[in-house]
A and B are shown apart, each in its own frame.
Chain A
Amino acid sequence: MSKKITIKIDGKPVEVEAGSYLLAAIESLGIEVPAACRYPFLPPRPVCKLCSVEVSLSGGEAKIVESCSYECVEGMDVRTNTPAVLEARKKALANMVNRCAENNLLKDIAGQMGIADEIKFGKELCTCIYCKLCIRVCDELVGANALSFKKGKVKEEEGESTPIVLDESKCILCGACAEVCPTNHLRIEEEHDRKLVHHDMELGPNSAISLSFRQAVPNVPRIHAEDCIHFRLGGCRVCSEVCPKDCIHYDDQDVIEEFEVGTIITATGFQDFDPTPMKQYGYGKLPNVISALEFEKMNNAASPTNGRIVLEDGTEPRAIAILHCIGSRDENYHPYCSRVCCMYAAKFAHLVKEKTTAEVYQCYIDMRCFGKGYEEFYKRILDEGVTVIRGKAAEVIPARYHREEEGKLLVCVEDTLISKFREIPVDMVVLCTALEAHDNASEFGRKLNISTGADGWFIEAHPKLGPVSTTTDGVFLAGVCQSPKDIPDTVAQAGAAAAQAMKLMNVGEVQMDGAYAEIHQEFCSGCKICNGLCPYNAITFEEDKKVSYVNPALCKACGTCVAACPSGAIEARHFTDEQIYAQIEGILS
């Protein structure tokens, strides 16, 4: 710990750490000092000189110093309010005011100093006060060295608008300069909230370190290394400076932990169908065409719009189309019904009606309101004035008939109930995208020895009698990873899976079926033909004995290896060759 010393500020003795900066000590007494060129994460460098105070050391002569960067020494006597101090500050302020356009920062400081009437801004158009913070933050904190002051005067008559020169090849677009600029002269231009800082976080909190979303588990922020200045250039580390609990460890690496478990519940869910390839709906190209999950995120109270339903320009929509079955019930994409879309679409319509005055059009193939209270909910949105159109939307195009339609969208759909082709003008389109199996589902399934069907969902042991178990004992399924379903069904299946797992764990051992394949190793010649055939990975090769082995706990008695073994060394218990021959002979006799 550093040494404590005592200094005097406006006559009052104050205990401070030797070598600390004077401005902090002054402010700790509640004395206001104007300051325009400081930033908490940069070492002080006197540029603006607004923070001037009078200091005399051990009874010596008083002199004017910049308090932000002046170190405290034992016995110093500080005056913050003498005429000389005021004069110095006025001079400093006038210096800045003369060089820039009118701005609130300097006006506020003038007000604070009680000289609001005395200042006169220059004729310049830009509000840069030459505090150098942006340049310093880019050099010293970010390490990109992308900014510098222009040499010579800003030639406004030649269209120049700023004394700051940006080397675009060096800028990493971190935004730190805009963050520190005290007059908002430097800005990072963002589109409405869809501007990404991190690609995962569209419509979410945008920062290199953040909570993924409010309810995230575990509920701790994480750093997106792709966006973090520290991981990109080695500088910054601001978050670790501000974290009071020392939780930020830049050296942390992903670790792979291994657990021994007896049962596994697979609940890996789904991925959202990407509608970009369905060019007819303009997703990713037309403004305000968004996916259902994006709409869901926007509606979240913790979203950047605070749960408000708005267009990209921040205004409220007047008409919204909700298009069902995008990628579902479609031979070109997924032939199956995603099951939850009709009902969440109804929920969306209800939310729109609740939060806005917009018209809602729902284009559907069939309205599948299959669950408890669902049909009633559907009736309710009809009462709320939602327009439902039976017909799958064919296309979304920009509306261009009239000038006032600029930016609007036209949904083209055949209303099959009245056999009429309709073009509905809206300003937002929500695509009810299919739930689809993760791209890597089958690869993941192989790790667990469970298989996926043609549509990618994991296959249950039996569609009616074994809906939560799999063909691998001890591995269970819950939720959408098995097939599309809503939350109530997911929760029910998860409960059943948990119960099944508990049952096994309680007993502590598993009972095996008596039927399994057995390799009579005395006849196995180690040809390895069976190796690699078992769909359940039950066969291993015992290098020491040069023969193969079937793990009976994994074997499902499918018989593949039994048929393949050319030595006849593998016997399917309860389905032996002798039994089968006897049956054939019995039939033929």
Chain B
Amino acid sequence: MAKPKLAVYWAASCGGCDIAILDIENKILDVADFFDLVFWPCAADFKYKDVEAMEDNSITLTLFNGAIRNDENYEIAKLLRKKSVVLCAFGSCASEGCIPGLANMFDKQGIIDYAYKQSPSTVNPDGITPQTKVKVPEGEITIPAMWNTVWTLPQTVDVDYIVPGCPPQSNQIAAVVEAVIDILKNGKELPPKGTVLGASEKTCCDECPRERNVKKIRKFVRPQEIKIDSKICLMEQGLICCGPATRAGCGAKCVTAGIPCRGCYGLPAHVRDAGAKMISAVASVIDATDPEEIQRIVDTIPDPMGTFYRFSMAESMLRRKQTT
């Protein structure tokens, strides 16, 4: 019997997810052993035309990381969808937009202007900006056009499963791989479409070892501003911990180490907009009734959009900032 085929792709991402796959230690040997690796640009030299040449539905499993923010990302997403039996949005960028998604707070022109002209570290006396086409002596070269808005994989193509995390924790990846191998080997039924793999139904607080009490907050602080108590819930200490509105699965790594949860494990099972949920949760525990006092406390929240929508901007109900 031919081995099942595996593809791994990166779109708009940092590459951390690919590293995370390599980071599953000796399980990677099981992967190499069990699967026939047909496409993994980060690890080996494959060409798009190799994929195009494959028969539809010939790839058993594709782990797709990275958001969709240009023509190329989108083309390959569509291509891999067509060629794969199971397409998995792997990691935060693919499933919810992640850091690239924060670009939705701006528009394309604004980003290009800043990156190529305005940023303090830019030296660009000729004012060169990226073009999609350029004429060279050998002919015309094209590069994919950047989009105005960053999209998630499920927003652009039909996705079967989601593996959250920035990046997904290696133990969770290993468990997912093991489960997939088990299913394929033993002919078991696949989990229902849309299932979030490698995470739980509860939130980060569930895995967090910190002691918690009724919360009453009179001032928000950043981690460097206080001496963090090692036992008590970080939120109670005035830190904005996104743990309560973030899916459990990471093993509460950050909060255990004393750093507030940033929210990389994505939406909890029953929440439609994690940022909005965090905002209403935080608003509920502000300990003041006088509007001016409340305003003063709210003003101590550092970078609200970056804090509450750090990972979920692209997939949130806001999706992007309205720009003219």
- The interface residues of chain B lying within 8 Å CB-to-CB of A523 are 201-202, 268-270
Interface size on B, residues (CB 8 A): 29
- Stretch of A39-47, A181-189, A563-571 on the interface side: A563-571
Q: Once the chains bind, are B270 and A527 in contact (CB under 8 Å)?
A: no
Asked if A172 lies at the interface with its beta carbon under 8 angstroms from chain B, I say no
- Stretch of B43-51, B108-116, B211-219 on the interface side: B211-219
Asked if A307 lies at the interface with its beta carbon under 8 angstroms from chain B, I say no
Mask: chain B, 256-293; 1 = CB below 8 Å from A; 0 = not:
00000000000011111000011011011100000000
- The interface residues of chain B lying within 8 Å CB-to-CB of A526 are 205-206, 212
Q: Once the chains bind, are A566 and B281 in contact (CB under 8 Å)?
A: yes
Q: With both chains docked as a complex, state the minimum distance between the C-beta of B118 and any C-beta of chain A, in angstroms.
A: 37
Q: Once the chains bind, are B216 and A567 in contact (CB under 8 Å)?
A: no
Known A523-B270, A527-B233, A528-B213; 9 more pairs at CB < 8 Å? A520-B270, A525-B204, A527-B244, A563-B280, A566-B203, A566-B280, A566-B281, A567-B203, A568-B272
For the complex, what is the distance from the CA of A528 to the CA of B214, rounded to whole Å? 6
Closest 7 CB pairs of A and B: A568-B270, A525-B206, A564-B284, A566-B245, A532-B214, A566-B244, A566-B281
Q: Once the chains bind, are B215 and A567 in contact (CB under 8 Å)?
A: no
For the complex, what is the distance from the CA of A564 to the CA of B217, rounded to whole Å? 14
Mask: chain B, 145-173; 1 = CB below 8 Å from A; 0 = not:
00000000000000000000000000000
| Chain A to chain B contacts (Cβ below 8 Å), 9 pairs | A526-B205, A527-B243, A528-B233, A529-B215, A533-B284, A566-B280, A567-B203, A567-B205, A568-B269
For the complex, what is the distance from the CA of A531 to the CA of B285, rounded to whole Å? 10
For the complex, what is the distance from the CA of A522 to the CA of B270, rounded to whole Å? 11
Asked if B80 lies at the interface with its beta carbon under 8 angstroms from chain A, I say no
| B interface residues with partner A (beta carbon < 8 Å) | 201-206, 212-216, 233, 235, 243-245, 248, 268-272, 277-278, 280-281, 283-285
For the complex, what is the distance from the CA of A572 to the CA of B80, rounded to whole Å? 41
For the complex, what is the distance from the CA of A532 to the CA of B214, rounded to whole Å? 6
Q: Once the chains bind, are B270 and A567 in contact (CB under 8 Å)?
A: yes
- The interface residues of chain B lying within 8 Å CB-to-CB of A533 are 284-285
* Nearest B-chain residue to A528, judged by Cβ: B212
Q: With both chains docked as a complex, state the minimum distance between the C-beta of B270 and any C-beta of chain A, in angstroms.
A: 3
Interface size on A, residues (CB 8 A): 23
Within 8 A of B (CB), among A50-100: none
Q: Once the chains bind, are B244 and A567 in contact (CB under 8 Å)?
A: yes
Q: Once the chains bind, are B271 and A529 in contact (CB under 8 Å)?
A: no
Q: Once the chains bind, are A581 and B284 in contact (CB under 8 Å)?
A: no
- The interface residues of chain B lying within 8 Å CB-to-CB of A226 are none
- The interface residues of chain B lying within 8 Å CB-to-CB of A524 are 202
- The interface residues of chain B lying within 8 Å CB-to-CB of A566 are 203, 244-245, 268, 271, 277-278, 280-281
Q: Once the chains bind, are A529 and B203 in contact (CB under 8 Å)?
A: no
Q: With both chains docked as a complex, state the minimum distance between the C-beta of A535 and any C-beta of chain B, in angstroms.
A: 12
- The interface residues of chain B lying within 8 Å CB-to-CB of A528 are 212-215, 233
Q: With both chains docked as a complex, state the minimum distance between the C-beta of A558 and any C-beta of chain B, in angstroms.
A: 12
For the complex, what is the distance from the CA of A528 to the CA of B245, rounded to whole Å? 12
- The interface residues of chain A lying within 8 Å CB-to-CB of B205 are 525-527, 567
For the complex, what is the distance from the CA of A523 to the CA of B268, rounded to whole Å? 9
For the complex, what is the distance from the CA of A568 to the CA of B246, rounded to whole Å? 11
Please pick, from B213, B235, B271, B285, the residue contacting A567 in the complex, using a CB distance under 8 A.
Answer: B271
